[in-house]
Chain A
Amino acid sequence: MKKSYDVVIIGGGIIGCSVAFELAKRGRKDVLVVEQEYLTSGATGRCGAGIRQQWGSMLNATLALESTHVFENLEEYTGYDGDCGLNQGGYLLIAYTEKEWEQFQKNLEIQHQVGINSHAVPLDCIKEIVPHINTDGIQGACFCASDGHADPFHCTYAYAKGAQGMGVEIVTYTKVTGLKVENGRIRGVATTRGDIEAKVVINATGGHAAQMAMLAGDELPIFPERHQILITEPVAHIMNPMVMSFHRHFYVQQTPHGSVIMGMGDPNEPVSLNTKASWQYLEHNAWVVTQTLPAFRNLRVVRQWAGHYDMSPDRNPIINEAKSAEGFITIAGFSGHGFMVAPRTAILVSNYLTGQQDSLDISRFSVERYKTGELLLEPSVV
């Protein structure tokens, strides 16, 4: 670790590592990634790992579509010798209310405009996609065959190793304890292993992002919210796609090795950095999911865990350079879909930092939108 870098990235999750990679690819190689524990130890390593393109806003649909293209070739793209575990089994989104079904149809139009190959599924065809589903109460469904999931650990390592190969340094078990700001400009970070100077500091700390930004005098509306997941014993494959219901707040999929992994949002979950799992969640999630997929009723749960969504008010990412500290850029607030849009987000941020053109307007993600009211409204999140 040197005393000074061009760019210091705080956070060794998928965002921090992908930004490091894309920056290095564009020639900004004097980069240090500082991770307080180990790579993926935060939200990335705890996430549901889904990759979904079926979004309801043009911006998210574009981010997801273009990220999916990167995931499809991530090993080659980063020069990684492992397997990033991409499995495109599709996402089946099911609507339980009329209103939800109407929204789905609007979403499809947007998705088709950006070129996503999603389609509505006639009710009598749902069982062709997921044979064991209980269709009671389902008003409609959509499917996108190229949705799927990938291994968040391998994806992060792929970016990290690719970045290191180009000269990026990564330090783990090192905590950033302070930010140095002078004359309205970021100058560096203080860490548990000493002070480091930097021209640019990137805050990719997920649920910790608001706390971190406060150290530079930047107030951001990002809140950590606990989300839990459970996983069952592996059994024979009976379900390819991820099944997702916004109305019932759940998603469930069967992994390639046969375990069934499922997660749920809780509308009453308080803001907190708690990562403890709860038995109430275990019982509730198991009950809700088996209403829709009764075949999973006798599976044994082998693990449960919790991680954080980094929530923003409009449940969309905040990419923001601090007014109080020029050169301090926060990339957070992904509200539960950071993993799946990370590849394209990293490209967007890196293009900005290297003065390159991008087809997306990065300013749309700034916190200014909460003042102007031009929110990034996304109707379809769990």
Chain B
Amino acid sequence: MKHIEVMVIGGGPAGLCAALAASSLGAKVLLVERDEIPGGQLVKQTHKFFGSEKQYAGDRGIHIGQMLLENVIAEQDIELWTDSTVLAIYEDGVVTVEHEGKHTKVKPDRLIIATGAAEKFLSFPGNDLPGVYGAGAVQTLMNVDGVKPAKRVLMVGAGNIGLIVSYQLKQAGVEIAAVIEGLPKIGGYLVHASKIQRAGIPVLTRHTILEAYGNGQVEGAIIASIDETWQPIPGTEQKIPCDAICLAVGLSPLTELAWQAGCAMAFVRELSGHVPVVDDLLESSRPGIYCAGDVSGIEEASAAMVEGRLAGLSAAFSLGYEANEAKALQQSAMEELAELRAGPMGQHIRDGINKVKLKRKIGNHAFENQTEKSGIVKDYSSDATNTCRAEIKTSLINDGIPTKEELDAIYPSDKRLTEGPIAIVECFQEIPCNPCVKACKRGAISMLRDINDVPVVDEELCNGCGLCISLCPGLAIFVVDKSYSGDMALIKLPFEYVPVPKSGHFVAGLDRAGRELGRFEVVRVTSGGDKNKTFTVSLAVPHDLVMEVRGIRIGEQAI
């Protein structure tokens, strides 16, 4: 039997960060990953992360995964078992693993369960036809295996996964028939919705799939509008020809091991199902077993990374490692989590956690002298109930296209527009994200309180340099220059497709709904760099269209 101080189950964002944090305090760690390559969902996330720089915001998921894995491999105190499946957690604390083809026993002093989540499925006639996929599977096919999964896809679900995978399918040259969503509003970040809308992909809320049809494989789907009781409205059926249907209808925590370990479990709708109940340091009801990431509630990978770090710190600290340093690190991790969850998008997570949070047991491990934690961490939740923290109530929430009023409110003054280039940040939703603030060397972009605020551009400080364009994870920043020439104004757009246009090319200019407004000359293309990979395309357009053109299309492909 192998003895180890800290065992981490799952090598996704939470598990990698847990292993790194525990070893950083000096603990000996065993990290066990079922897949051949650790990284979890990071290995296929080609989009840039939101959040703050502490969660690597602005970096692409694949790069974050690679970086974390390199750090894990370089760390001598972390032993990494890949292609190894944890089979069971027994009453006596022994964990069994299928490792190198053998039934292997491990006795850890502390255990961190970071097993993540699995995609949910939907019931409808024809859902067993080849061509009906989980959106995550399609993302793996494309981004890990390099396989174009289909020619034309119907995406079911407008949460972040549905929106992001639609965008990535579009990048891979796949046509998206539509993104449909049963809820009356878009669940994912609106900047993702805006991004696919201007690529010409319609987002249809209050729609559901009735059936998939096809002879031996998917040839199409029948969709319909639904009423407020989620019943299809007769007469609204539409036939959508497609060769794949992607289901992005939510995730379920993978909690089998927590159940088996005897951790207290609770059904919390806001956390997406049955979850292990944990305290503020992420320890479950079973002393010495911690849970981090999606296993204890579905959230963004940014939160999973911070939770992993917190669980790793807590596990190592409870073994007596680096007591003083650990406390400060734990506190800052808790503050990061509170900040990530402070906005309206984090409301359900806050509600869910508050429903079932375990009270820390006095006398447990090294925490005898620690008093109430909630007083130490800045309480963002009271801010969040403030009227400033408002949910979007306009049509923007239904289609991802900002209204005239919303746009007018953020446009610079007419005077400033005529004076020279200036950034326009079309980011209306309070989501936890601030790379734009960090990007501006002149301090022209700011947020009122924390990373959940919408960014505000100071029109005096901004010189329209456009550095922020390629750094915005939501591709929501544009630079407008009405001083470009007497006839033409310049619009600088973020661009993440292939082929990349060259200066002198004429391309179609598209509005926020993906409609063509004319053909315009590309005057400049700059690269965001090898890592960033977002190009900034400058397009000369007539003055009256510079506030309308927000996308381009090369050839027939809307992009």
A276 contacts B103, C-beta separation under 8 Å: no
Give the residues in chain A near B88, CB-CB below 8 Å.
277, 279
User: How many A residues, CB 8 Å from partner?
Assistant: 7
In the complex formed, the residue of A with least CB distance to B1 is A279
- How far in angstroms is the closest Cβ of chain B from A289? 15
Give the residues in chain B near A278, CB-CB below 8 Å.
90-92
Listed by A's residue number, 11 A-B pairs whose Cβ atoms lie within 8 Å are A274-B91, A276-B91, A277-B90, A278-B90, A278-B92, A279-B90, A279-B94, A279-B96, A279-B105, A282-B103, A283-B103
Give the residues in chain B near A276, CB-CB below 8 Å.
90-91, 262
In the complex formed, the residue of B with least CB distance to A278 is B90
**A-B residue pairs, 4 tightest by C-beta:** A276-B91, A279-B90, A279-B94, A279-B96
Within A99-154, the residues touching B (CB, 8 Å) are none
Give the residues in chain B near A277, CB-CB below 8 Å.
88, 90
Give the residues in chain A near B92, CB-CB below 8 Å.
278
State the A residues within 8 Å of B (CB): 274, 276-279, 282-283
Give Cα A279 to B98, complex, Å: 13
- How far in angstroms is the closest Cβ of chain A from B141? 27
Q: Which of B90, B94, B96 has the most CB of A within 10 A?
A: B90
Interface string of B58-102 (1 = CB under 8 A from A): 000000000000000000000000000000101110101000000
Give Cα A279 to B94, complex, Å: 8
- How far in angstroms is the closest Cβ of chain A from B140? 25
Give the residues in chain B near A279, CB-CB below 8 Å.
88, 90, 94, 96, 105
Give Cα A209 to B262, complex, Å: 25
Give the residues in chain A near B103, CB-CB below 8 Å.
282-283
- How far in angstroms is the closest Cβ of chain B from A226? 11
Within B84-140, the residues touching A (CB, 8 Å) are 88, 90-92, 94, 96, 103, 105
- How far in angstroms is the closest Cβ of chain B from A351? 44
Give the residues in chain B near A283, CB-CB below 8 Å.
103
Give Cα A274 to B262, complex, Å: 12
Given A276-B91, A276-B262, A277-B88, 6 more pairs with CB closer than 8 A: A274-B91, A277-B90, A278-B91, A279-B94, A279-B105, A282-B96
In the complex formed, the residue of A with least CB distance to B92 is A278
In the complex formed, the residue of A with least CB distance to B88 is A279
- How far in angstroms is the closest Cβ of chain B from A272? 11
Give Cα A148 to B90, complex, Å: 32
Give the residues in chain A near B91, CB-CB below 8 Å.
274, 276, 278
Give the residues in chain A near B94, CB-CB below 8 Å.
279
Across the A-B interface, how many residue pairs have beta carbons closer than 8 Å? Answer: 17
Q: Which of B94, B103, B105, B262 has the most CB of A within 10 A?
A: B103
Give Cα A274 to B103, complex, Å: 24
Give Cα A279 to B96, complex, Å: 8
- How far in angstroms is the closest Cβ of chain B from A356? 47
- How far in angstroms is the closest Cβ of chain B from A297? 13
Give Cα A160 to B461, complex, Å: 78
In the complex formed, the residue of B with least CB distance to A304 is B88
Give Cα A276 to B91, complex, Å: 7
- How far in angstroms is the closest Cβ of chain B from A92? 28
Give Cα A276 to B90, complex, Å: 8
Give the residues in chain A near B90, CB-CB below 8 Å.
276-279
Give the residues in chain B near A274, CB-CB below 8 Å.
91
Within B200-257, the residues touching A (CB, 8 Å) are none
- How far in angstroms is the closest Cβ of chain B from A273? 13
- How far in angstroms is the closest Cβ of chain B from A177? 23
- How far in angstroms is the closest Cβ of chain A from B103? 7
In the complex formed, the residue of A with least CB distance to B103 is A283
Give Cα A270 to B192, complex, Å: 60
Give the residues in chain A near B105, CB-CB below 8 Å.
279
Give the residues in chain A near B96, CB-CB below 8 Å.
279, 282
In the complex formed, the residue of A with least CB distance to B262 is A276
Give Cα A264 to B103, complex, Å: 20
Q: Which of A277, A278, A279, A283 has the most CB of B within 10 A?
A: A279
Give Cα A260 to B467, complex, Å: 64
Give Cα A279 to B95, complex, Å: 9
- How far in angstroms is the closest Cβ of chain B from A256? 25
- How far in angstroms is the closest Cβ of chain A from B67? 36
Give Cα A59 to B353, complex, Å: 59
Give Cα A323 to B225, complex, Å: 68
Within B171-194, the residues touching A (CB, 8 Å) are none
Give Cα A279 to B91, complex, Å: 9
Give Cα A274 to B96, complex, Å: 20
Give the residues in chain B near A282, CB-CB below 8 Å.
96, 103
Give Cα A277 to B90, complex, Å: 7
Give Cα A9 to B92, complex, Å: 37
- How far in angstroms is the closest Cβ of chain A from B22? 25
Give Cα A282 to B90, complex, Å: 11
Give Cα A283 to B1, complex, Å: 13
In the complex formed, the residue of A with least CB distance to B94 is A279
Give Cα A179 to B193, complex, Å: 62
Give Cα A282 to B329, complex, Å: 41
- How far in angstroms is the closest Cβ of chain B from A270? 13
In the complex formed, the residue of B with least CB distance to A276 is B91
Give Cα A373 to B316, complex, Å: 61
- How far in angstroms is the closest Cβ of chain B from A156? 24
Give Cα A194 to B166, complex, Å: 55
- How far in angstroms is the closest Cβ of chain A from B83? 15
In the complex formed, the residue of B with least CB distance to A286 is B103
In the complex formed, the residue of B with least CB distance to A300 is B98
In the complex formed, the residue of B with least CB distance to A283 is B103
Give the residues in chain A near B262, CB-CB below 8 Å.
276
In the complex formed, the residue of B with least CB distance to A302 is B87
In the complex formed, the residue of A with least CB distance to B105 is A279
- How far in angstroms is the closest Cβ of chain B from A306? 10
Give Cα A278 to B94, complex, Å: 9
Give Cα A279 to B88, complex, Å: 9
Give Cα A283 to B87, complex, Å: 13
Give Cα A85 to B399, complex, Å: 54
Give Cα A278 to B88, complex, Å: 10
- How far in angstroms is the closest Cβ of chain B from A31? 34
Give Cα A282 to B103, complex, Å: 10
Give Cα A279 to B262, complex, Å: 16
Give Cα A314 to B456, complex, Å: 83
Give Cα A37 to B94, complex, Å: 29
- How far in angstroms is the closest Cβ of chain A from B32? 16
Give Cα A283 to B262, complex, Å: 22
Give Cα A279 to B103, complex, Å: 10
Give Cα A282 to B92, complex, Å: 14
- How far in angstroms is the closest Cβ of chain A from B269? 21
Give Cα A277 to B103, complex, Å: 16
- How far in angstroms is the closest Cβ of chain A from B368? 30
